[in-house]
Structure 1
Amino acid sequence: MSSVSPRALFGSTIFRRTVLSGLIGAVGLIVLVWLGFAVHRAQTLGEVRASLDAELEALEGLYASEGLNGLVAALSFDGRMLWDSDWLYAILEQDEFIARVVTGEDETLAGFEGIDPPGGQASTFVEHEELSGHRVLSFRMPLEGGEVELVVARFVPDRLLILEQWLVRASWLVLLAVMPISLLTGFITSRTAFRRLNTISATAEAIDEGRLDVRVPLEGDGDEFDRLSLAVNDMLDRIGALTRNLEGVSAGVAHDLKTPVSNLAGRLQLLERDAGDPEAVVAHVAASQAHITTLLRTLDAMLRLGEVEAGGRRRAFAPMDLSDLVEDVADSFLPLFEDADKRFDVRIEARVSVDGDQDLLTQLLSNLLENALEHSRDGANIWVGLRASGGRAWLEVGDDGPGLPAPAVDSVFDRFVRLDVSRSTPGNGLGLSLVRAIAEVHHGEARVAQTAPGAVFEVSFPLRET
């Protein structure tokens, strides 16, 4: 495997997305924590505001009942109307409220002078050399008569301030910690991916050089790279099979077309030689036409076989009654068997339905019946049967002849295969190959079910789901 440069690793999509995923995860975690803190802070501040409302209501009631003097007296400690700033520590520790009564000239009549918020509810700070950064929630309102204003405030709990500061530091620490971890994870992940992809790429390069036997090695852990490797290996196996098949087809084509082409060339030479003999010319032309017909039939069968194996006809599949099709084809072949002095028996189960191409299935059955007609003995009994069983349709064509030789059973469906006993009859060895191809494109199977007594060809299809 060739080494991968750091620049290629760091510039890869896998590396960038791994790092981005790590950062998104970290930011998402931080956002969730801050959302939780915001909910907790809102609940805590709500409790503080509720207590402020209660204190404000109590002081308003005192002012309404005892007047300004009573309010000032209530806010005086040890006879002192103005609070000492040192008392703030005790108030902070005991979670008490801060109050101030101020005149329109901003003169403090009682309470702590270090709070001067705007009107209404506000979040502000106290004026104190050590507690100036400590936030308070306050409420300022004029008392009845408009002579003075009442200010009530409470410290925001220390735990909120400490927690907020801790979360700020923790957020930065998380981001600073996640960045190198994401970079390292992205590097390791992209390097592993590059190693596996390089293995697949090396296999592709070997295939490009003509080494069709190489395959992508599997790690055995069943991950996406193993699944991709399996798909590539399956594709290579298929390519190898198609290549071998193409080689066999090429050899078969060359062999099967050589004879009619040679015969045609010979007939043309004879036609040139006997040009002065009308009867000989007619005979030579007739023989040449027969050779051309053989060529065209072989080429047409090859084109048809290629079309079926490519699967292009699946688009024309539709629900159909296979029983009616078999009966129609059998009726059309009955006169041919009678002329050949062969008995023909039809055994069809009614209403056997499949999904398929009517033309292809007609071709399949016609090829089987032509095979039986041409290669069965004189006076043979030939039969065609159709039945439904086990969720499948079973189509059979058989005879009572000597059957097939055992070595031919495995190769009888291959292209251009013709048994020795068939060499004297017309044909190109593609009929049964087309039968198998049509069966497979219908998700079915064609096989030799019996070889003695008689040869029985069996094709099965999935029944149509209702």
Structure 2
Amino acid sequence: MGAWRRLWASVGFRLAFQYAVLVAITMMAALAIVYLQTVGVLHQRIARQVGVTTTQMQARAEQQGLEAVAAAIGRALDDGRQSDTELFGVWQPDGTRLAGNLDAPPADATGGRDGQQRAQRGGTANTGYLAVRRLPGDALLVVGHDLSDQDALESLVVSASAAAGLIALLLLVGGVFVFRQELEQAVGRVRRTAGRIAEEGHLAERVDMTTGDDEFARLGQDINAMLDRIESLMEGVRHVSNTIAHELRTPLTRALLGLQAAQAPGVDDAARREAIDRAVHELQDLGTVFQKLLQIAEAEAGARRRAFAPVALHTIADDVLELYEAVAENQGAHLVREPADEARVDGDRDLLAGAIANLVDNALKYGGPGCTVRIGTTMAAGQAIVEVQDDGPGVSEADLARLGERFTRLTPELPGHGLGLANVRAVAALHGGRLVAEGAEPGLRMRMVLPIGSPSHN
């Protein structure tokens, strides 16, 4: 019983067993149809033939008398057609046989009954389909057909059906275990991979792929793609953790040392206030870093997707340009709004405004004094595009792929935390889009590409 319970616990075995039951039912129905179409049809034909002959004999008896019936029976038995299967008998009320090949009337000879009965013919008991009728003058008429051939055919059909059923049963039993083995082999690859990852923690493990394009092959591909994504995310988490530890340790250390210095005996009030101010500034910077990290995490988690509504990106771009005009004027830079086409998406207006502001702020910062920053909005191929381009020194091809990573600062001497473009990339991904960095020769072109319709929630 324990082995059977373990076997039944297998989904593959249960599915195969249920399929086998369905096939067995189908096979039994098919065999029943074959039986009815052979034996059943033959039985109906015999009954119809006996019924027609009986009716004819009754009509002859009423019109011409018993002698005519006896003569007709004699001709039927002597014509050589089905004489070995035809059964006839006519008896006087006193039991004297007038004609026929039956030795005696059947046991149930009350008249008016049709069906299978035993009757004596030539000293041998035979099973036949008999019609028993009372004729005028209380004579007894029996017309029938020997069922020996039908019994043989029925036995043959039953034997063939039993043999076919046994073979089918063996094939089904074998098929159940073959199906279970195939399913276990296909699922086993996934289970073994998941087990190695769970036990050893190696995210580099992948499901062994087989040739073909069946459901399990596609499942393996999807699981491998999922593992690739998980490994990438874990690498990102490790990178961010290490970077946060490095980025935060330095300002925390500076703030701690400054406060410790302010506590030292003999420090005048002015030096103490200056040390406290520096520590407050460092801690405020740390608060800004954490706030930006939380914004990025919130965008990546999709927590604000429910608040999406139609947004006019061209209007947001106009507002951002107006906001940064004073900043650009102070550093001698120029802001240009082109192209200024309408661009509308479904999204979060505040997040999109912050993302565009980050792009403009980044372009002004790295474009340098006297640069020209172009802010453009347009629609193309079912997408809304916000493009911010400067004519500054630009970024090398090798560094373009790094833009948008957390804490990436290609020019460390400039102020910042390396989180602005990471925030833009997270906002673009939240809206189902992407952030693209390209060399503008001269300068850098950052393009935020967003789908026009509502983004997928996946």
TM-score with structure 1 setting the length: 0.80
Offset from partner CA, 1:387-406 (integer Å, 9 cap, x none): 11223222200122222244
- Which of 153, 162, 167 is 1:177 aligned to? 167
What percentage of residue pairs aligned between the two structures are identical?
Answer: 26
2:444 matched to which residue of 1?
Answer: 455
Determine if contact 1:349/1:388 at 8 Å carries over to the other structure.
Answer: no
Distance 2:204 2:152 in 1: 69
Larger mean CA deviation between 25-34 and 387-396 belongs to 25-34
Determine if contact 1:75/1:99 at 8 Å carries over to the other structure.
Answer: no
Query: Residue 412 in 1 paired to residue 442 in 2?
Result: no
Code of the aligned partner of 2:353: T
Distance 1:226 1:122 in 2: 65
TM-score with structure 2 setting the length: 0.82
Offset from partner CA, 1:14-57 (integer Å, 9 cap, x none): 34543553454244223213213314444444443443443333
Larger mean CA deviation between 18-27 and 55-64 belongs to 18-27
SS in 2 for 1:401: coil
- Which of 6, 22, 25 is 2:23 aligned to? 25
Query: Residue 373 in 1 paired to residue 371 in 2?
Result: no
1:323 matched to which residue of 2?
Answer: 314
Offset from partner CA, 1:202-259 (integer Å, 9 cap, x none): 4334322133333332222334443333333223322322222122111110111112
1:7 to partner: Cα distance: 9.6
Distance 2:67 2:336 in 1: 124
Alignment RMSD: 3.8
1:394 matched to which residue of 2?
Answer: 385
1:365 to partner: Cα distance: 1.3
Offset from partner CA, 1:160-189 (integer Å, 9 cap, x none): 433321221122222332344333343444
Code of the aligned partner of 1:443: G
- Which of 120, 136, 139 is 1:128 aligned to? 120
SS in 1 for 2:119: coil
Distance 2:55 2:345 in 1: 87
1:163 matched to which residue of 2?
Answer: 153
2:234 matched to which residue of 1?
Answer: 243
Alignment map for 1:211-360 (pairs within 5 Å): 211-273=202-264, 279-280=270-271, 282-360=273-351
SS in 2 for 1:396: strand
Distance 1:160 1:310 in 2: 78
Offset from partner CA, 1:107-152 (integer Å, 9 cap, x none): 76665434346654532123137874534153x45557xx536655
Query: Residue 14 in 1 paired to residue 12 in 2?
Result: yes
Larger mean CA deviation between 221-230 and 9-18 belongs to 9-18
- Which of 131, 144, 163 is 1:154 aligned to? 144
Distance 1:374 1:346 in 2: 18
1:429 to partner: Cα distance: 0.8
Distance 2:340 2:91 in 1: 107
Determine if contact 1:271/1:280 at 8 Å carries over to the other structure.
Answer: yes
Query: Which residues of structure 1 form unaligned runs of 5+?
Result: none
1:61 matched to which residue of 2?
Answer: 59
Distance 1:123 1:169 in 2: 25
Code of the aligned partner of 1:440: A
Higher relative contact order, chain-length normalized (CA < 8 Å, sep 6+): 1
Distance 2:245 2:372 in 1: 36
Larger mean CA deviation between 397-406 and 346-355 belongs to 346-355
Distance 2:268 2:130 in 1: 127
Distance 1:324 1:373 in 2: 20
Distance change (3 Å), C-alpha of 1:106 and 1:11: farther
Determine if contact 1:91/1:97 at 8 Å carries over to the other structure.
Answer: no
Larger mean CA deviation between 375-384 and 339-348 belongs to 339-348
Code of the aligned partner of 2:429: E
1:343 to partner: Cα distance: 2.1
1:101 to partner: Cα distance: 5.5
Determine if contact 1:19/1:185 at 8 Å carries over to the other structure.
Answer: no
SS in 2 for 1:295: helix
Determine if contact 1:393/1:462 at 8 Å carries over to the other structure.
Answer: yes
Distance change (3 Å), C-alpha of 1:102 and 1:405: same
Distance 1:290 1:120 in 2: 118
